[in-house]
Structures are given as C-alpha cells and as structure tokens.
Structure 1
Amino acid sequence: MSFIRNILNSRSSKDGNFFLQLQNILGFKPKNKSLYRKAFTHRSMNLKDKKGNPINYERLEFVGDAMLSSIIAAYLYGQVPHGDEGYLTKMRSKVVSREHLNELGKDLKLIDFVVSRISKSSFGDNIHGNLFESLIGAIYLDRGYSYCEKFIHKNVIIPYVDIETLEGKVISYKSLLIEWCQKEKKSFDYDVYEDTGKDELKHFSVKLSIDEKVIAKGRATSKKKAEEKASKRAFFAFQKQITKPI
C-alpha cells in the first residue's frame, strides 16, 4: 500500500508543479485542468479517451489559431482606421506568422511542459508555435473570450505589435524575390535536393539561381525553410535594386 501511495503522491506533486508554473504564465487559475493537460500532450503518447478519440494538442491548436487570428484582427481594425481589407490582412499575417508564433512559444518556454515519447531535441521549431496556439485554445474553452483576449493582449499585442515596425516587416523573402524577378523579367530557379549530412533530422539544401547564375544557397529541415533561407540571402544581395523608389 505504501508503494502505491508513493506513486500517487509523486503524480500529485508533478501535477501541482505543472499547474503552479502554468498559472504564472496564464495570470489566472485554470478551471478545467484537463484542457491544459491536453494542450501539452503530443500525439506520440498515443492516448485516447473512453470514446476512442485521440488526446493531444492538435484540435486545441485549431481553436487557438482561430481565436488568435480574430482577436488580432479586431485589434488592428480599431488601431488602423485607414487600413483597407488587404492592408489589415497583410498586417495580421505578420503578427500570426509561423516564425513569430514560434518566437512567442520559445519566450514562454512552453516546450518544458510537453509530454511526449519523442525527445524534445528532435522537434522542429514549429512545436513552439503549435503549443502557443493550443494553449490559447485551452484558455478560450476554459475561460471564454475575455480571458483569451487579455492573455493575447499581454503576451502578443503589448510586447510585439507595433504598427510602424510591422509595416516594414517581411513575411516571405521568397514571395518578395519572385515578385521582383517577375517585375524585372528575370528568370529564377530553386534547385532543391535532399542533403546527405550526418544530422539526426533529414535536411534539404537549395541553390537559388537568377538569370542562370547561382546567387544564394540555403539548408534547413524542410524544403520551404531552405528556399526561404536562400531567398533571404538573395534579397540582401539585391536589396538596393528591390527596394529602390519607383
């Protein structure tokens, strides 16, 4: 009996530490604790509820994505009365970009809460943004819109949303570069190939050519990231021509 009691006490202690640390991030006490446990449960745990439905953060991530987008949209609508639909959409995209969400998740150290059968060192950068969105989803379902709005205002809008800075922020160097090449009637080509390095995770490399001349290279854990890296380097190589006044 003492052995079982020790196990239960250990679990209770871990659970208490989890919610104590989480409460410091949230700024309030959770009501439905199961939502927050689910918000940090990775699919590799292969857990299911009594009805056979999977228990992991992916569905909460979907809810959080929608809530974050709507709250940022409402904020921008109020802050930039002169902005048309296209402008507001572009500005919102900059706030909720995958890169930015990953930064937010890292700042809050959300990966420390993850329960997974996979080593944390094996996760890609997107795990940070995914967890941030799943946490927002849990907040909304647990406490409603007002708590969700306050959390986003405190952790996203106040520290990171500056209209002038956002206006000059580039979301995709690849899109910017392609747009410039098409405008200037320059040919471009992304030669992507699987890298045979010794990394644990598969890597891809890319050679970006403009007018049949290799301008930049990039290497990352996905084709998209490798292309973006090469595009960013190419952008700075041609920055004066791309950003010159019309």
Structure 2
Amino acid sequence: MKYIRNILNSRFKRSGNFFMEINQILGFKPKDIKYFRKAFTHRSMNIKDSEGNAINYERLEFLGDAMLSAVIASHLYLEVPSGDEGYLTKMRSKIVSREHLNELGKDLGLITLVESKIPKGQFGDNIHGNLFEALVGAIFLDRGYKYCEKFIYTRVILPYVDIATLEGKVISYKSLLIEWCQKEKKTFGYNVYEDTGNDDVRHFSVKLSIDDKVVAKARGTSKKKAEEKASKRAFFVFQSKISKSV
C-alpha cells in the first residue's frame, strides 16, 4: 500500500506542477487540463484512447495553426485598412512563419513540458513552433475563441507585431533570390548532396550557382535548410542589386 501511495503522490505532484506551469504561461487557469496534457504529448509515447485514436499534439497543432491565422488576419485587416489581399497575406505569412513560431515556442520554454520517449536534444527546431501551435489549439478547445484571441494578442501581436518592421522582414531568402534571378533573366541552380561528415545528425550540403558561377555554399540538417542558408548568403552578396530590382 505504501508503494502504491508513493506512485499516486508522485503522479499528483507532477500533475500539480504541470497545471501551475501551464497557468503561468497562459495567464489564466485552464478549465480542463487534459487538452494541455495532449498538447505536450509526443507521438513517440504511442498513447491511444479507448477508441484507438492516437493521443498526441499533432491534431491540436493543425487547429492552433488555423486559429493563429484567423486572429492574425483579423488584426491585420483592422490595423492596415489600405492593405490589399496580397499585402495582407504576405504580412500574415511573416508573423506566422515557422522561424517566428519556433522563436515563440523557445521563449516560452515549451519543450520542457513535452512527454516523449525521444531525448529532447534530438528534436529539430520545429518542435518549438509545433508545440506553440498545439498550445493555441488546446486553449481554443478549453476556453473558446475569446481566450484564444487574448492569448495570441498577449504573446504574439503586442510584443512582436510591428507593421513597419515586418514590411522589411524577409521570410524566405530562397524565394526572394529566385524572384530576382527570374526578373533579371539569370540562370540559377541548387546542387544539393548528402554530407558525409561525422555529425550525429545527417546533414546536407548545397552549392548555389548563378550564371554558372558558385556564389554561396551552406549545410543544414535538411535540404530545405541548407538551400535557405545558401540563399541568405547569396542575398547579402547581391543585396544592393536585389533591393533595387525586387
């Protein structure tokens, strides 16, 4: 009996700590903690409900992404009455970019709350943004749209959304570089190959060529990341020309 009591007390303590940490992040008390438990459960836990449905944060991530887009779109629509559809779409993309969401997740320390069988050091950067989206989804299910909107305003819009700054922010150097090359009728190509280095995590290297000349090299844990790094380096090489053209 003493052993069982110790287990129950341990679980109660963990649950209490989790509730307090979530409460601190949200700024209000959740009604049903189970939504937030789910928001921080990784698929590696392989947990299922009584009907065989997987219990992890991935579906909440989908919901949170939609809620973020809706609240941000509403804010931009009201804040920038002169902005057309293309402008508003581009600005929203900058606010909810994967890079920005990852920063938000890191700032809140969300990864410390994750239940996973995978060591946290092995997760890529996107885990931080995924958890942030899942958290927003959990808030919506637990408290509804108004609380969800309030959280996004407090944690995203007020501290990070400055229209003037966002207008000059580049969300994809690759897209910007390709647009410039096409406009200036320059040939370009990304030569990507798997890196055979001694890193624990597989890496890819890329050589970016413009008009048959290698202008930048980079490496990353994915082809996409390697290409974006190389594009960023090339952008700063041609920054003055690109700024005048695009």
On whether the aligned pair clears a TM of 0.5, the verdict is yes
Q: Given residue 153 of structure 1, which amino acid in structure 2 is its aligned partner? A: Y
Q: Given residue 139 of structure 1, which amino acid in structure 2 is its aligned partner? A: I
CA shift at 1:245, angstroms? 6.3
Q: Distance in 2 between matches of 1:96 and 1:63?
A: 14
Q: Distance in 1 between matches of 2:69 and 2:35?
A: 20
Q: Given residue 116 of structure 1, which amino acid in structure 2 is its aligned partner? A: S
Structure 2 counterpart of 1:38: 38
Structure 1 counterpart of 2:3: 3
1:126 aligns with 2:126: yes
SS of 1:199's equivalent in the other structure is coil
Q: Let me know the Cα RMSD of the aligned residues.
A: 0.9
1:50 aligns with 2:50: yes
Structure 2 counterpart of 1:153: 153
1:138 aligns with 2:138: yes
Structure 2 counterpart of 1:109: 109
Structure 2 counterpart of 1:83: 83
Q: Distance in 2 between matches of 1:86 and 1:167?
A: 13
SS of 1:28's equivalent in the other structure is coil
SS of 2:244's equivalent in the other structure is coil
CA shift at 1:29, angstroms? 0.7
**Aligned pairs for 1:1-246 within 5 A:** 1-244=1-244
TM-score, normalised via structure 2 length: 0.99
Q: Identity rate of aligned residues, in percent?
A: 74
Question: Is this contact kept in 1: 2:39–2:135, CA < 8 A?
Answer: yes
Deviation readout 1:82-135 (Å, 9 max, x if unpaired): 001110000000000000000000000000000000000000000000000000
CA shift at 1:196, angstroms? 1.1
Q: Distance in 1 between matches of 2:19 and 2:229?
A: 38
Question: Is this contact kept in 1: 2:105–2:131, CA < 8 A?
Answer: yes
Q: Given residue 125 of structure 1, which amino acid in structure 2 is its aligned partner? A: D
CA shift at 1:199, angstroms? 1.7
Q: Given residue 36 of structure 1, which amino acid in structure 2 is its aligned partner? A: F
- Structure 1's consecutive aligned runs of 4 or more residues displaced over 2 angstroms after TM superposition are none
Q: Distance in 1 between matches of 2:112 and 2:222?
A: 24
SS of 2:15's equivalent in the other structure is helix
Q: Distance in 2 between matches of 1:74 and 1:230?
A: 35
SS of 2:218's equivalent in the other structure is strand
SS of 1:63's equivalent in the other structure is helix
SS of 2:138's equivalent in the other structure is helix
Question: Is this contact kept in 1: 2:180–2:245, CA < 8 A?
Answer: no
Deviation readout 1:1-42 (Å, 9 max, x if unpaired): 000000110110011011101100101111111110000000
SS of 2:132's equivalent in the other structure is helix
TM-score, normalised via structure 1 length: 0.99
Aligned residues: 246
Q: Given residue 7 of structure 2, which amino acid in structure 1 is its aligned partner? A: I
Q: Distance in 1 between matches of 2:118 and 2:22?
A: 22
Q: Distance in 2 between matches of 1:21 and 1:62?
A: 23
Q: Given residue 175 of structure 2, which amino acid in structure 1 is its aligned partner? A: S
CA shift at 1:244, angstroms? 2.0
